[in-house]
Each structure stands twice: as C-alpha cells, then as structure tokens.
Amino acid sequence: MFRYLMILGLTLFLPGLYALGYSVYQGPSAWMVDSQTFWGTPISLFVFWIGLAHAGTLLSAIFLALDIKLDRRTALIAELSTLVSLVFAGIFPLMHLGVIDNFYMVAPFLDARGNFANVRSPLVWDFCCIAVYALLSLLFFGVHLKSREIPALDKYRKPLAWLLFPLVLWVHTIVSLDFAATFVPQWRGAFFPVYFIAGAILSGLALVNLLICAEGYRVRLLERLQLICTWILCAIWIWDLILKGYFCTSAFIFAGVLPQLRMVSVIREHRLGRIFFSVSILVGLFLERYYLVSPTAASATFGRIDLGLVAFSVGGFMLLFFGIRRYLNRNMEGAGSYFGEVDGTDLAEAEQEEFEKENFTGVRGIQKLRKGFYMQPWSSEEYRILRFPLLVGFAAAVLFSVWVWSQSVFANVDLSIANVIPLLYPIVAVVTAFTLCVRAYFVEKSFDMTRREKTLCVVLLVLAAACLGTFFAGGSSEKSAKVLDSQPIGVDTPVSQNHARLVWNARCATCHGTDGRFNEKFVREFYPVPQKLDLQRLDSLGADSLVKVILNGRNNMNAYAGRLTPEEALGLVNYMRTLAEMLSENAAPESVKEGEK
Amino acid sequence: MGMDRREFIKSCSLVAVMGLLFGCRKSAVLGDIASQLSVPELKRFEDEVKLAMSQAKKSLDLVKVPTPGALKIPGASTLNRFGMAIDLDACDGCGKCILACNLENNVPLVPEEDAARGRFMHWVDMRGGAPFMCAHCGNAPCERVCPTGAANHTPDGLSAMMYKRCTGSRFCGANCPVQARKFNFNDAQKLGLARQFNREVPLRDKGVMEKCSLCLHRLQNDRLEFKTSLTVGTAAEEWRGRGVKTACAEACPKNAIVFGNWLDDKSPLVQLTKNRVLYAPCELAALDPSVVFMRGRR
C-alpha cells in the first residue's frame, strides 16, 4: 500500500522538482503573480501547508493536554504529518523571496554590522514562530517515540503538550496577521486570526482523516470534529460575504457544502466516501487560500509552473510521509506497537467504552474524574515539571525584550515594545523546551542515549551554531569585481591639509566621524561598522595601501575612484594620521592618570 | 553516561571546521560580466515610455489634504521635509517626466511580455493623464511591513530603499495602496535591458523592490557640497536643500512639477502652493503624503 502511494508521490514529485528548480532559477516571474500584491502560488501553498501542519499538534498535543483520549498510532501519524507538512511550509516562503540569499535578514537577530530586522513586520514574527514550532514539534514527536522504551519520558509529554497548545494558536494568528495587518481591502478584518485558526484546524483534520484512511481504519471522533469545523468555517465565510460582498464560492462548495454529505450514513460508512470528504475539504481550502492570496488574479493565469509547485508539495509530502512510515515499519523494533493495533486499545472497544462513559458523565472523552479525585492544577505533576523551565523561559523573554529595547534601531525608528510581543511566546516556548530537555537529561536516571542519538544531537547543535553564524556574519554588501592593482599609485603630492579636511568632512565624516572616531549613531543604524582608524593601524597599513583602499574600496567601504583624485586620497590619508595623532594625544593623559592611581 | 573526551574533541573540531569553511566563502564575481554586455539604445527607452503612455491606467480619486507639516516620526528633522506638488492645471500629460526619470535613475527596460501586461519598471506612472509616483508618506505602510528594514524613512522625509538589505519578500508592494513600488522580476543587466546613464545611481539587482527616491542622490550631493563649502566646526547655517530639483521637475516643459522643502518658507514648493488647493489620492490621504497634487486657486 505504502509503496504504491510512494510511487504516486514520486510521479508527482519529479515534475514538481523541475518546477521548483525553474522557479528558483527564474525568480518570482516564473509563477503566477498577482499584479496588486506581488504574491502568488508559493504563498497560497505556504498558508495551505502551515494549516495542514496543525494536525499533529492539535490532535496530539491539545488532546493530550485536555485529557481527551486518542490512541497512540493516530497521535503518532498526526505528529509525523505535522513534521512533514512543516518541511513544505518552510520551503515555499523561502523560494518566494526575490533574493533568497538574504533570507536570514528576516531573523530578529543582530548581525555583525549592527543591523536588526524590523520587528514591526509580521513576516519577522512569522519566521520565528514557524521555526520554533517546527523545533518543538520535532521534539514532541521524538519524545513520543522514545517514551515507549523509556517510560520515564512519558511524564514529559504533557508539559510539552501544554507548551505547544498556545504555540499552535499563536502561529496561525501570526500567519493571519501577515494578511490582516496590511491595507489590501480583501484582507481587512479583525476576525482573521479566528478564521485562519479554524481553517487550519479543518485542513489538519482532513489530512489526518485521509492518512488514517490510507492506514485502513477510522476514528469517528475526528470525523465528527471535521464536520463541526466545516460549520464554523461556513459561518465565517458567510460573515465575510456579508461584510465585503464577495467570497470564494468554490471553496464554500468544496469545503462547506459537500462535507455535509457525511450526514448520509451510506456515504459515511464507505471508505471511499470518507476519502472523498477529506479530499473535497483539502481542495476547497486550497482554492480558498489561492483566492485569498491573489484577490485580483484575473490579469494572470495559473500556469504549468504553478501546477508544478502544487504537484511538488503534494508529491513530496506523499513521498516523505509514506517513506518515513515504511522505514519505521521495517527498521524500528516493534513498529507494530507504535503504528499497529497491538497498542491494546482496540478502537471499537474504546469507542464503546467512551459511549458508555458519556452516558455516565455527560462529557464525552474528558476524563476529569479519573481515579476518582480532582487534581489541583498547581499541584499536578506536569506543573511541577514545567515550573522551573517556564521560569527560565520567561526570564529569557524578558531579557530579549530588554536587549531589543536597548538596540539603537529603537531609538530612532517608531518602534514600540508592543511590536516585540508576538515574538515573546515563541521565545518562552523554545527556552522552556530546551531547559526541559536539559532537566530530563540530568534528572532522569534511566534516561540513556545510544551512540547514534548522541551523534544526532551533536549534528543538530552544529547546524544550529552554523545557522547563528550565518545570521551573524551576513553577506557582503559590495559585489565588487575590482581587484586591487599591484602597481603603486605614484602620487606623492597630496592636496593641502585644509582641502583634505573639507573633503573628509564631506565624504568620510558620515561614517568615520569628523574627529576620526566613527559616527556610531549613523553607522549602527544604516551601515556596517567601519574599522577604527587608530595610529597603530594606520602605521601597519601604510599610506600607499590606504590610498588604494580609498580609491578601490574594500569590504564595505565604497570605492571613491571616480569621485576623488589620487592626490585627494593621499591628502585624506595624511589627514587621517593627524586625526589619529590628536586622538592618541587626548587619550594619553587619561592613561597616565590611571597609571598614577 | 555522558560524552567521553574523544567524542567531545571530535564534535568541537567539527564546529571549528564548520566555522572555518564558512569563512572561506567567496562572493561571486559577476560585476564585470554585466558591463561587457551590450547596452540598449536610447531609442528603446523612448519607445517604451510611449508604449506605457498608450496603456493609460485608470485615474486616481483625489481628495483634499492639508499642507504637509513636519514629520511625526522620532528622529525626524524639524528643518527639512522634501516633497513635490504636481500642478494638474498646468500638466498636459506629455510624459517627458517619465523619460527624464528613467534616464536619471537608470530605470531598466522590461521584456516584451511584461510590457504587454503593463508591468513597467517606471518610477513615474501616468494615471488619468497626470504623472504619479511614490508619495513618500509620512506614515508609510510599506516601511511598517518590511521585514528587514530595507524600506525606511530618512529624517528628511524620504521613503528610502536599501537595495542590499532587500530580501524581495514583496510585502511592501502588497501593502502599498497605490502600487507605487516596482519589483525587479528580471535580471535586466543580464538580459541587456539596463543601461547606466547616470553613474551616481546604482543598477538594481534582480529580486529587489525599487521606487521613486525623490532623486536622493541629488539631495545628497547638494548636502555634501554645502557641508564642504562651510568652514569646519561652525554651524553657521543649516542645510535646507535649496536649489535642488528632481529630474522630473527639471524636465517638465510647463513647470508643473515643483520640488522643494515643505518646512522651508523660501522653498518654491511652499511659495507656489500657498494659494492652491492640495489633493492626494484618497487611499493615501490619511497617510500624510509628501507628494501631492494641486489644482485651482484658493
């Protein structure tokens, strides 16, 4: 079964890969771009896949946190589908960029030049939230897999679920703000976060139901939830229609009307019927995303590259998901206990039990009265595990706010600290999860890692370090092909000191400062930090090479060859020396005083 | 339990090697290739302007606005706020400003399929028979959503672009209510569509946004000249940008485009708009635009 699905995925994936390669090579003109918003298929696909990615966390983490019963294999399938969807949700915004090399500039992270991302932009919030979400989902899946072997880990699942619960809502709220924070009339509306979360939950449920069909069983709870979600979404669509006068009719039919056929028992009881509901909802939601991102797409047409991108993500998902499933089935010890029915919870029985319980308590599935007593939230086990890491997380978030606040960018640009708020929860979550891992490593005696897992951890750490390094180093701002010529400049008659001073103040002082110390405020805000021009450094470089640097440019220093004559450049070098001498004379008495003390 | 020494050293050296490899990057040497390619003739730029003029865009809904005052953003200058006023009574829509702007700012040509779709790179558009460009809004929505800070406001009231910091997310373009921003979909230098008429303005790479800069380079040159002519250390007079004109204002045969400093009473902009009624597109009226239209006497 998985093999055929993989082959189907591969046949979609390979032409899709061509489309992806072509789009990366050609840039944003390759696919259909809306003439009004400059956005197109990749962003539709991004919103679509990030919605699908909510399946796992929603079903597994939120159900776990709320004590709603879900058997292990459904939870694992959902979590795995989250991870695989996130891979594709991450690819599309990246490939959508005009200059893909510069993607790291979106991270709210100081680079070597003192540049800082504009934290007012929802895109920055997006970047952080999704990165943290992917990280925590991976951790959650890993802990779930391991907890079968090491029962001590099982008690860490619930704290993690509580961390993921707000994050999943947070992520989709932020994604909706990408749209709702703009001036595009079709995207206005305070209900956007609710709308996006409802859409995400629906698409996630549809995906999980589809995957469960592929595994060959069904979970009625999820099917019912899916139906209820279509009602919520229909209500929002009708609201939108009344508010703005138009909406996506095809989405309403596919994701709103057709799934109502579940009320007909003949269709509901047939497997093809259930597949039909899920596929119909997914198609409808994709059309809706597509309509949402490109509201005035009439001028452009949905071309073969766009189709290719859709095929790439769908095929890639199938290939990766079923590939991992096959791999786990073959190579993992006791895969049956993870993904099979050996779990011990026979579904028919479980549902029967649930039904009986419902008659007793009136609350389906929620085991509030487990073991006959009510647990105080502050004395529960998950709170005791979570409280210290959470404290560390909050401390980190506060530290981040203070650090961001002290950035010079904030002094001059109209940025309020309120703009940092969307970043705070992801920071809390990632730091808390990290502390939780450290705690598990040190506290749990039975916790032991195999050699392979240790290597994996090291590799991940190295990757994280490499990412941070990339962000910090940044790119070169001058792609200059000019090479410093080896010939001497051949000028030994500099311009007068006075002329040099005028040129210095006009051309150089903006960055290097009138007194030779760099103009910190300006430089930190707009430009890379220049070299300090102290006497030692000037002496070690020599006048000739300094003249060449001025004329030809170097690293981030612009070339002034057309704007300054070599005589002026030499004059500037002499003037630099004078400034440096003055600075060192000014500095000298202080150091003498310190020496006396 | 834990990591033994051997493994620790191994992983440390891995990190170090990664760092070293990272430092060894060399940026691509492409600058010279572009300059060797053929450059398009001036005739093609003229023809493209004519083509753009023939594809008239629908006119803007204008509403009355007050005279722009000092910027309300932190760090803004209280002396300078540059802007323009376009005299709709004088303008006859000849389109000379478009060509002048293109040549001044090295605006590239577009391939034929883009031209057929009306996707030009021109910073100045003809909307309803009058030129229209970025309004340099005081409260610019494009700058608010730019993730990297490539779109930012100068203290002098220009909505500026840092091309090297632009990552091409096109969020600013999506958030501009009048679509004044142009995206470099094509590598104009590689396709032989760009020509550097003006050495002072860089050619833009593929994948970055661009738009009217209010001839920032002219202002900067004037500022530098002003600073150079002053004796160092004495701030006798502040720079007000007097005598600068944008390329479009210079090219206009009817003098319908007036450039100046909204905060300087001696500026031609303030003097010529004194008795006129100012208008702005209704989408921008609430965003404090610096570039406005004027029509009728008050």
> Would you tell me the crossing angle of helices A566-596 and A543-552 to the nearest 10 degrees?
120
Q: Which of A427, A435, A442, A441 is nearest to A389 (CA)?
A: A435
pLDDT of residue A484: 44
Q: Is the pLDDT of residue A322 over 50?
A: yes
Per mean pLDDT, which range of A361-370, A497-506, B58-67, B162-171 is the poorest? A361-370
Task: Mention every residue, 6+ apart, whose C-beta is less than 8 A from residue A357.
Answer: A364, A365
Nearest to A506 among B170, B176, B224 (CB): B224
pLDDT of residue A320: 92
Pick the more confident residue, A1 or B190: B190
pLDDT of residue B31: 45
Nearest to B3 among A120, A454, A480 (CB): A454
Pick the more confident residue, A471 or B168: B168
CB A126 within 8 A of CB A178: yes
Task: Mention every residue, 6+ apart, whose C-beta is less than 8 A from residue B275.
Answer: B297, B298
The tens digit of pLDDT for each residue in B91-122 reads 988 889 999 999 999 999 998 888 887 788 99
A411/B74 Cβ within 8 A: yes
Could you tell me if residue A227 is inside a domain?
yes
Task: Report the chain B residue with the minimal C-alpha distance to residue A298.
Answer: B117
B144/A98 Cβ within 8 A: no
C-alpha distances in Å from residue A530, one per residue of A37, A114, A117, A512: 38, 11, 20, 7
The tens digit of pLDDT for each residue in A470-499 reads 777 766 544 444 444 445 556 667 778 888
A462 vs B contacts (CB less than 8 Å): 11, 14-15, 18
CB A380 within 8 A of CB A65: no
Could you tell me if residue A59 is inside a domain?
yes
* Confidence band for A297, pLDDT divided at 50, 70 and 90: low
Cα–Cα distance for residue pair A563/A573, rounded to 1 Å: 16
* Confidence band for A591, pLDDT divided at 50, 70 and 90: very low
Backbone angles phi, psi at B74, to 5 degrees: -65, 145
Nearest to A480 among B31, B208, B228 (CB): B31
pLDDT of residue A594: 44
pLDDT of residue A488: 53
B169 vs A contacts (CB less than 8 Å): 96-98, 106, 123
Q: Is the pTM of this model over 0.95?
A: no
Could you tell me if residue A20 is inside a domain?
no
Q: Is the pLDDT of residue A181 over 70?
A: yes
Could you tell me if residue A108 is inside a domain?
yes
Overall number of domains in chain A: 2
Could you tell me if residue A217 is inside a domain?
yes
* Confidence band for A554, pLDDT divided at 50, 70 and 90: confident
B184 vs A contacts (CB less than 8 Å): 98
Backbone angles phi, psi at A393, to 5 degrees: -60, -45
B167 vs A contacts (CB less than 8 Å): 97-99, 102-103, 105-106
A123/B147 Cβ within 8 A: yes
Average pLDDT in chain A: 79
Q: What is the mean pLDDT of residues A170-191?
A: 83
Task: Report the chain B residue with the minimal C-alpha distance to residue A469.
Answer: B19
B74/A412 Cβ within 8 A: yes
Nearest to A183 among B141, B149, B183 (CB): B141
From A256, A285, A302, give the residue that closes a domain: A302
What whole-number percentage of chain A has pLDDT above 90? 13
* Confidence band for A178, pLDDT divided at 50, 70 and 90: confident
Q: What is the mean pLDDT of residues A107-127?
A: 79
Q: How many residues can be counted in chain B?
A: 298
The residue written with tokens 């220049």 in the block is A530
What distance lies between CA A181 and its chain's CA centroid? 18
The tens digit of pLDDT for each residue in A66-100 reads 877 777 788 888 888 999 999 999 899 999 998 88
- Which CATH number is A585's domain given? 1.10.760.10
Helix, strand, coil: what percent of chain A each, to 5? Answer: 75, 0, 25
Q: Is the pLDDT of residue B234 over 70?
A: no
Instruction: Assign a CATH topology to domain B32-230+238-297.
Output: Alpha-Beta Plaits (3.30.70)
Backbone angles phi, psi at A506, to 5 degrees: -80, -45
Cα–Cα distance for residue pair A111/A547, rounded to 1 Å: 29
Q: Which domain holds residue A567?
A: 497-590
Q: What is the mean pLDDT of residues B173-193?
A: 88
Task: Report the chain A residue with the minimal C-alpha distance to residue B75.
Answer: A412
Pick the more confident residue, B167 or A529: B167
Kind of pairing between the strands at B159-161 and B151-153: antiparallel
A469 vs B contacts (CB less than 8 Å): 18-19, 22
Task: Report the chain B residue with the minimal C-alpha distance to residue A454.
Answer: B3
B37 to chain A, closest Cα gap in Å:
15
SS3 (DSSP) at A138: helix
- In A239-283, DSSP assigns E strands to none
Long-range contact pairs involving A66-69 (C-beta distance under 8 Å, separation at least 24): A66/A366, A67/A366, A67/A367, A67/A368, A67/A370, A68/A365, A68/A366, A69/A350, A69/A354, A69/A365, A69/A367
Q: What is the mean pLDDT of residues A555-575?
A: 81
* Burial (CB count within 10 angstroms: exposed 0-12, middle 13-18, buried 19+), residue A371: exposed
Kind of pairing between the strands at B182-183 and B151-153: unpaired
Could you tell me if residue A474 is inside a domain?
no
Q: What is the mean pLDDT of residues A234-238?
A: 91
pLDDT of residue B281: 92
Q: What is the mean pLDDT of residues A265-291?
A: 88
The most confident of the ranges A322-331, A480-489, A569-578 is A569-578
What whole-number percentage of chain B has pLDDT above 90? 28
A462 to chain B, closest Cα gap in Å:
6
A505 vs B contacts (CB less than 8 Å): 227-228, 232
Q: Which residues are B87's β-sheet partners?
A: B294
pLDDT of residue A124: 87
B187 vs A contacts (CB less than 8 Å): 27
Record the tokens describing residue A515, joined without a space: 């007194």
Q: Which of A23, A99, A524 to mutate to test the interface with B (most CBs of B within 10 A)?
A: A99
B30/A118 Cβ within 8 A: no
From A281, A302, A323, give the residue that closes a domain: A302
The tens digit of pLDDT for each residue in A28-71 reads 888 877 767 788 889 999 999 998 988 777 778 888 888 777 77
Nearest to A414 among B14, B74, B175 (CB): B74
pLDDT of residue A437: 86
What ipTM did this prediction achieve? 0.80
Could you tell me if residue A460 is inside a domain?
no
Q: Please name the helix (run of DSSP H) or strand (run of DSSP E) that holds residue A142, with its range, or none.
A: helix A122-146
